[in-house]
């Protein structure tokens, strides 16, 4: 349970870092980042698998590149739902989701107890 809470808070910090690094993404407060991180986690766990299956032919034709579009769409969707978290268009959602993924990947590598 403690590990889950730590990952959630680190995801919120990653969103704040994305907003700092890229002007197309805005996070108004730490609370907004925490709520957005929770919403992103839920969207990735519940909605993303359905979208991946529904768009499988396109994903195969694009050699997997369409998965970036799915990630950007979920990033944008969360920004529409969570007050205090904003994305300025599709390009900002695409860049923001890429930065968020990279930052959380690096952070997960640095956490102790990571499965190898």
Question: For the chain, which residues make up each domain, given as ranges?
Answer: 9-110
The 10s digit of each residue's pLDDT in 28-66 is 999 999 999 999 999 999 999 999 999 999 999 999 999
Residue 87's DSSP bridge partners are 25
3, exposed or middle or buried, with CB in 10 Å at 0-12, 13-18, 19+?
Answer: exposed
Whole-model pTM? 0.90
The 10s digit of each residue's pLDDT in 66-111 is 999 999 999 999 999 999 999 999 999 999 999 999 999 999 898 8
Place of tokens 């890229």: 22
CA distance 84 to 94: 19
């Amino acid at each position: 349970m403690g590990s889950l809470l730590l990952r959630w808070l680190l995801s919120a910090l990653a969103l704040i870092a994305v907003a700092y690094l890229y002007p197309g993404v805005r996070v108004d407060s730490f609370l907004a980042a925490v709520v957005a991180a929770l919403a992103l986690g839920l969207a990735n766990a519940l909605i993303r698998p359905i979208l991946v299956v529904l768009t499988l032919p396109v994903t195969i034709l694009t050699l997997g590149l369409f998965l970036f579009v799915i990630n950007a769409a979920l990033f944008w969707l969360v920004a529409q739902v969570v007050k205090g978290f904003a994305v300025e268009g599709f390009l900002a959602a695409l860049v923001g989701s890429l930065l968020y993924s990279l930052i959380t990947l690096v952070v997960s590598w640095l956490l102790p107890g990571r499965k190898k």
